[in-house]
Structure 1
């Protein structure tokens, strides 16, 4: 186990804040471990163990807590005095109407509350209504490439292209590093995928046509990093003699992104400074899930690298968009208030034509914000104020 200091450093300032701390991430991405690391730090600070209440609602021990009243009753019984308590609730979405209990705790107890869940809708609906402006959220991703190197004992200056290719193949799901063989890893990832599809999508959203769902997910996996719409998916179904309405597809896309197996990156009009509402891009939260859901079609390495960079930027806590210019597209814009940073991703800058395509993508961007081109090349091809970085160096923050 590694200490996820990258996340802890961002959460730590809120340990004693009245704001509710919400950790959201795909199933098995490390949220539970992170909550336990937070609990360990609280103990080190001198908080009594009896004043740290950790509940995992996937544990049968707490299966009797089904709704807000069960949760309220149980916590009230354990919070026996007027001193501050720390509540860490894992997979909180499994408790019906949990937000009502959370709101009650905030109003009646001296407490600091941490919530973790594997549903993108955790911050919508009643929670957002009751707690608007009263929470801070953190997106928890599987291990980054840098964290993979840490857990495997690879020094940063020793990280190789072979290590990077392994990451492209099998991703960063924490438990996959406990597997001893490639076969074990594939079985684990397959079981994880089935768990996400069955429990977080099919059962939660009450989907009846599982075949359609699987086909949509497969299509999205094969087209990761590509711009597409419900219409393009509808055309795909027509090619395999199935007719699915765009309305149904949009609904399924919502279910898929809510499970956090894939993330939607919307397009941003750089010139008009506005968000565009059509033709989004979708990225896998972990590329290992592509390995076991690929029917033989090999996704281009450039698309996989683009997916890795998107995940890394989300891991770093940024707001990420796809840039639309008058002449084309910028892979990513990182927004920070009025500031922004641009990124282009390519496999190799093999010749002048490729370099012109990647560096030339910035020709229509007239501002002075930082602009980067990332690739596997080790030679520095920086030009015209645009910085070129080796992608491994970028991921390791060298």
Structure 2
């Protein structure tokens, strides 16, 4: 059998959904078959859409709770919002509505757009909620992952402009207040296959990714560093006061407070190419130290290259919300036609995506000492949040659980 041509590989890759490193069901997950309920109304907003569900027995918008969508590529999807919030471990939308809260699912036309850009959509949603609300119950405003940063900026920006957002509560759900993490090995691989399919690389290099990621590389052989766009975003947050001052600020994290990480060890082989087109490719978890090998890269051509890092901590196994980054890549390649030669063996599916210390804004990510800090022993006033809760065990990023949601629900106005 002849080897596949460059054109055949490109054609099949583009016939498949893009490789996107976001939470959600695995490719091999059993479909649940449930469909989202039709919303009570839909708001067309500048840069986005809001799907509004009135609380049980409410004649209209009475007790609004805004949930902003997180990072991904392309437009927000109502199906995806329900997948995360209702059809997982805990039926959050149903419970909110049962308690009389009106649920506003805030989506964006482009989830990988810059956070300040999508903040304008959040500000429009807040203004619409105030305009349509019956009565004077204050708003609760927040979001999942990046959505927590979008709404944090939105509320702070409105205050800086003397706009009354009428929110009594801000909340974040596993939001990367001090940065998120995609292994440099995965970033390098995304850029390495750019000539075959640029969509993976485009996600890593999108404005939102550059702003979210604690360390970023633009090219496969780049040096991991804080991107210029992240530096600009942090300066923008400082310009609007870092945090909104009027609402109470709370947050939950999918990582633990005790500083105990996962069983992912530093410098371990996570993914290995087995098919002819990727034979020789090896992606490793991040190891501390200088000149550490994180990736051996070979795709289609005989040439191979290496990616190395210096001075980075053992972040892949840190306590926090995890993402199946290596698993997502392996699943996508193993779903391709075998004749293309992209079969891979994944040994470590998940890595830390939002460290617990980032989700509760209490430590930076520069060292193992900070990443693996015992948060329960730290003074709470060191966090930008007024109150927070961490999970009892490390779990998937943005996983909606009864443990975290019950705490959050009890604090809504």
TM over 0.5: no
Which structure shows the higher helix fraction?
A: 1
TM-score, normalised by the number of residues in structure 2: 0.31
TM-score, normalised by the number of residues in structure 1: 0.32
Query: Which one has the largest radius of gyration?
Result: 1
